[in-house]
């Protein structure tokens, strides 16, 4: 081993130290759970996120509604910002019938969307609304899927997702 002192390395030429960037403000505190956007089953609902925010505002009032074109009378589902028949954007909001009957159904036994993993198995299906020429898809609550039948009566209702948003579901009403 050499006893000579180690040669001093030339000191680095340093620029003036760069001050750290100002600390970014913390994101707002989230009071409600938010799911990752791409895995979020439910749509964003506020008026700065969708032109269909009235649909969701009405859901919060317990009303499931859609748009209708006053020019040609066409009832839309899902609700639209413009009539697909005449392209008018002057549409009116109408409440949907609250009662319908199951046209077809199936069950989700696995691979449920994020946030619904603990709820399998559950039923989903197509429901013909009484008094409206519409067939809606959605979850069917209120009865085990093994006890549902084609033709079962259901009620269309809004429900609270729990994070400030609302959506619609069906609830079996047969005894
Ligand atoms: Zn129209």
What's the whole-model pTM score?
0.76
What confidence score (pLDDT) does residue 98 get? 97
pLDDT of 175: 61
What is the predicted pLDDT for the residue at 116? 86
Are residues 163 and 120 located together in one domain of the fold? yes
| C-alpha to C-alpha distance for 101 and 150, rounded to whole angstroms | 8
State CA 161 to chain mean position distance.
Answer: 9
Residues in the chain: 175
Q: Is residue 107 part of a domain?
A: yes
Query: What is the C-alpha to C-alpha distance for residues 143 and 154, in angstroms, rounded to an integer?
Result: 10
Burial letters for 73-106: b for 16+ Cβ neighbours within 10 Å, e otherwise?
Answer: ebebeebbeebeeeeeeebeeeebeeebbbeebe
Let me know whether 105 and 159 are in one domain: yes
pLDDT of residue 31: 46
Q: Is 66 helix (H, G, I), strand (E, B) or coil?
A: strand
Flag whether pLDDT at 10 surpasses 80: no
- 143 Cα to the center of ligand 1, angstroms: 38
Decide if 132 contacts 99 (C-beta within 8 A).
no
Task: Give 53 Cα–ligand 1 centroid separation in angstroms.
Answer: 20
Both ends of the chain: CA-CA distance in Å?
Answer: 95
Distance 115 CA to ligand 1 centre (A): 37
pLDDT reported for residue 114: 82
CATH of the domain at 135: 2.40.50.140
Q: Can you say whether the dihedral through the CA atoms of 101, 103, 109, 112 is positive or negative? A: negative
pLDDT number for residue 27:
57
**76 Cα–ligand 1 center, Å:** 9
Please, which pLDDT band fits residue 163 given cuts at 50, 70 and 90?
confident
- For residue 105, the enclosing domain spans 97-175
In a domain, 11, yes or no: no
Looking at the fold, whether 164 and 105 belong to one and the same domain comes out as: yes
- pLDDT 10s digits, 23-42: 766 655 444 556 677 777 88
- 68 CB contacts (<8 Å, ≥6 apart)? 74, 75, 76, 91, 92, 93, 94
84 and 107 co-located in one domain: no
Structure tokens, 149: 């039948």
Q: Is residue 119 part of a domain?
A: yes
Compute, in angstroms, the gap from residue 141 CA to the centroid of ligand 1. Answer: 34
Average pLDDT over residues 83-90: 98
Q: Is the pLDDT of residue 172 over 60?
A: yes
For the chain, what is the domain count? 2
Provide the pLDDT confidence category of residue 52 given band limits of 50, 70 and 90. very high
In a domain, 28, yes or no: no
Q: Round to whole Å and give the CA distance between 128 and 154.
A: 10
Same domain as 103, residue 83 = no
Q: Which helix (H) or strand (E) holds 53?
A: helix 53-60
| Res. 127: pLDDT tops 90 | yes
- 76 and 147, same structural domain? no
Considering the domain boundaries, does residue 39 fall inside one? no
Q: Are residues 110 and 86 in the same domain?
A: no
Residue 88 sits in the same domain as residue 56: yes
């Amino acid at each position: 081993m050499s006893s000579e002192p180690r040669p001093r390395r030339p000191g680095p030429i340093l620029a003036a130290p760069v001050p750290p960037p100002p600390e970014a403000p913390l994101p707002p505190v989230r009071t409600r759970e938010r799911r990752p956007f791409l895995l979020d089953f439910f749509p964003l609902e506020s008026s700065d996120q969708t032109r269909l925010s009235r649909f969701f505002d009405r859901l919060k009032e317990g009303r499931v509604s859609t748009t209708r074109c006053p020019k040609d009378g066409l009832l839309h589902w899902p609700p639209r910002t413009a009539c697909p028949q005449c392209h008018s954007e002057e549409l009116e909001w109408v409440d949907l019938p609250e009662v319908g009957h199951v046209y077809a159904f199936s069950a989700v036994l696995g691979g449920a969307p994020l946030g619904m993993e603990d709820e399998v198995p559950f039923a989903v299906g197509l429901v013909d609304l009484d008094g409206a020429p519409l067939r809606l898809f959605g979850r069917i609550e209120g009865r085990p899927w093994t006890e549902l039948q084609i033709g079962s009566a259901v009620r269309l209702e809004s429900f609270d997702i729990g994070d400030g948003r609302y959506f619609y579901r069906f609830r079996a009403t047969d005894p």
